[in-house]
Amino acid sequence: MKIGDYNVRPSLLHYGVAIFFFSVLLLYGFATGDWKTVLFCAPLVVFMLIIPMALNYMSQKQYTSLLPYYKEYARSIKTREVNERLLSNPVRLEGIVEQIRFTSLNRPHYVLADRTGSITVKMFTDPGVKIQVGDRVFVYGQVIHRYIVFGDPVINGVHIEIF
């Protein structure tokens, strides 16, 4: 579904949860004959899909508004330069996509490599472009810990573009 300039969609996990609860609701209706409750609860199942789509839209809109800041202040670095001293700093990386994970959850993680090494780039929303293994990309983002407050430094990707 397209809202404004942004493609938003629930992840496969959201679809699965909504289908599961809709099935439970139908089973309840057939088992008890209480269709008033089914009709009352059916919109709640729809909201299980609408809410993630709204959150996806808001994330994409926020990242788009941050892009000019990152383009102006991001420091170009190589993957070997990423360390804990760069935490919370805007950075710009260039490299080749070696691996892609978690696309079905709308939270893709890209393993990006250059001549100095490789690093994970976590996107917390759909990037809006179709990235494939082997693509040469620019990534704007921020250095963060892999697991919120601990773990090795990775990149929180704000924007990724193919060149």
Last residue of a domain, one of 47, 72, 97: 72
Last residue of a domain, one of 72, 104, 122: 72
Question: Within 10 A of 155 (CB to CB), how many other CB atoms are there?
Answer: 26
Q: What is the pLDDT of residues 120-138, one digit of tens each?
A: 999 988 888 899 999 999 9
CB-CB contact of 99 with 110 (8 Å): yes
SS3 assignment, position 107: coil
Cα torsion angle, 19, 24, 30, 34, sign:
negative
Question: Based on the domain organization, do 139 and 112 belong to the same domain?
Answer: yes
pTM, rounded to two decimals: 0.83
- CA distance to 15, 109, 111, 160, per residue, from 155 (Å): 28, 10, 10, 11
Question: Based on the domain organization, do 156 and 95 belong to the same domain?
Answer: yes
Domain span holding position 114 = 77-162
- The mean predicted confidence, pLDDT, of the chain is 91
CB-CB contact of 137 with 118 (8 Å): no
The count of structural domains within the chain is 2
Last residue of a domain, one of 42, 57, 72: 72
The CATH number covering residue 140 comes to: 2.40.50.140
Q: What is the pLDDT of residues 1-36, one digit of tens each?
A: 878 788 888 888 899 999 999 999 999 999 999 999
Sorting pLDDT into bands at 50, 70 and 90, what band is 159?
very high
Percent of the chain beyond pLDDT 90?
72
Average pLDDT over every residue of 60-85: 92
CB-CB contact of 68 with 120 (8 Å): no
User: How far apart are alpha carbons 23 and 37 in whole angstroms?
Assistant: 14
